[in-house]
Amino acid sequence: MRVIAIGTNTDPYQPIEREWRIMRQILEVLHKANHPVAIVTKSSLITRDIDILSDMASKGLAKVGISVTTLDRKLARSMEPRASTPANVSKRSRH
C-alpha cells in the first residue's frame, strides 16, 4: 500500500478545519482502513487529532512533519498571518 501524502501543496489544517473537521474525517477513514498517511502542516490544530494519529503511528501508519518558516514570532505573523506561531506549534507538538 502506498502512503497518502497530505499537505504537500496546501496545509490541510486551514482555519476552517476547526469547524468543518474534514481532515479529521479523512483520518478516521484512513485509520479504519489501516492505510498509511504522511502529513505536513504548520498548524497546531493537528494536535486535535492526536488520538487517531498516535494509534496509527503505533502501527507505523502515520508520520507528521511540522513546517516552521521562522522562529521569529513577529516575522511569522507578518509572513503567514493564519499559521500557528512557532512557539504555539512547538509547545503543542510535544504530546
The three-state secondary structure class of 64 is strand
What residues contact 71, with CB distance under 8 A and at least 6 apart? 86
**What pTM did the predictor assign?**
0.83
Per-residue pLDDT, 89: 61
d(C-alpha 51, C-alpha 70), whole Å: 28
SS3 62: strand
pLDDT of the residue at 54? 98
3-state SS assignment for residue 26: helix
pLDDT in tens, the chain (95 residues): 899 999 999 999 999 999 999 999 999 999 999 999 999 999 999 999 999 999 999 999 999 999 888 888 889 889 888 788 777 665 555 54
Under 8 Å CB-to-CB from 29, ≥6 apart: which residues?
35
